[in-house]
Amino acid sequence: MASIIIMPKQGLQMTEGYLTKWLAAEGGTVVKGTPLFEMETDKLNITMDAAEGGTLLKILHSAGDVVPITEPIAIIGALDEDISELLVKLGGTEVKIVPAPEQTAVSSNETASEDASISSVSVPTVIVNVSEGPIFASPRAKTTADEKHVDYRRVPGSGPEGLIIERDVVSFVQSIPKATPLARTIAAQEGADLYKITGTGSSSKITAEDVRGSLAAIIAQRTVPGTRGETKIPISAMRKVVASRMKQSLSEMAQANHRMDIDMTEAVKLREQFKEAQIKISYNDIILRCVAKALTEYPMMNASMVDDGIILKKYVNLGMAVAVDGGLLVPVVHDADLMTLQEISAVAADLAVKAKEKRLQSSDFNGGTFTVSNLGMFDIASFTPIVNPPEVGILGVGKMEKRAVVVNDQIVIRPMMTLSLTYDHRVVDGAPAAEFLRRVKKLLQTPALLL
């Protein structure tokens, strides 16, 4: 009986996924538990394994489609199974599967040295025709292709009568330019040749910016002197979700903002003490620890609003905004109120690396109760952040810089930082919000209170 493959839900707030690549061709054999397709959400790039084995009878959504969650994307079943009625129900069309050609025996000293078994047995063939004739590959070539996530049917064969052998697959893989998923997406949609682009990323990997730069250079060459060219880049699934959530936040919440300057002298001393003890602690770690403690004292800032009331959270899950290629991720430090400063530092560092490498799991960015967004490293003195729903507050952190301030009627130079609190005025009034921000200030200026 045929099985329907749907767009899976990866995360509580996911509504759609971007189908980036099919790892099996329509009509091809699918092995249960092996990679079937690649997808992109607003936060992750994921390779999904086949839940069922059989023949990929029909691909309902092609690579490049944005598909709502739970919507059918493919059908897997037996090779000769009639799925016409099922396709009608799904709104598709009748499908005809190309049968596998008869197996052909192969004998060659070259291929026998690679696969000891293929000199005496027939070589398995693919299910569908993707060229003018059937494509033949040795078992080891297929295994290597699966391990490297390569469609062996695209590999030129150097064996007898075009047989694809293992070294063909290895050579093909080595020739494929290394590129990020977003770079491949942009290149495919804009017709850019990755083989002609020099990568500037880690290990010379081609990034989205490399592709955009190449496209811009091509357009510049085609532009008539004295005029300006244009280029269009695709909107990633991540960018779509960020745009939607920010619009939702501004339209549904009564957002207000308070700002406060913080003297970071004692925080600097605390960090230096950790540094002398060879313990790596960042200023953002100290801020996260102070915010976590303050939230336990001001529960209205650690809440969310629903239709029939306000939910007060008895736990603190701190979101930390991380800028990544193509958008913004907010991984969450769960139970931050129960952690020491060093524990928060370790968890935050790990989440930041996973976010930039797109290795976050859904559990890493779900369940946040309050967010801290730090743009100090970008030389931003202060800014007004937008609340991340369903939370009611977000703290914007500006850069720390030396300023002239008045202390005991004397002008002195102190390391200062501006904090900006945006909050949902439907839930929190101005005075309590100001008290919360003042408490964060007190903790930063007197970090001994964290003990």
Q: Among all residues, which ones are annotated catalytic? A: 425, 429
Helix, strand, coil percentages for the chain (3-state, nearest 5): 35, 25, 40
Other CB atoms within 10 Å distance of the CB of residue 166: 20
Are 130 and 56 in contact, with CB atoms under 8 Å apart? Answer: no
Residue with tokens 């300023």: 403
Nearest in space to 231 (alpha carbons), one of 246, 248, 214: 214
CA triple 218-221-222, angle to 5 deg: 90
Q: How far apart are alpha carbons 419 and 417 in whole angstroms?
A: 7
- What are the structure tokens assigned to 155, written together? 């590999």
Rounded alpha-carbon distances, angstroms, from residue 408 to 405, 411, 412: 10, 8, 9
Does an H or E element contain 94, and which? Answer: none
Contacts of 237 (CB under 8 A, 6+ apart): 16, 17, 18, 40, 41, 42, 66
3-state secondary structure of 442: helix
Q: How far apart are alpha carbons 19 and 41 in whole angstroms?
A: 9
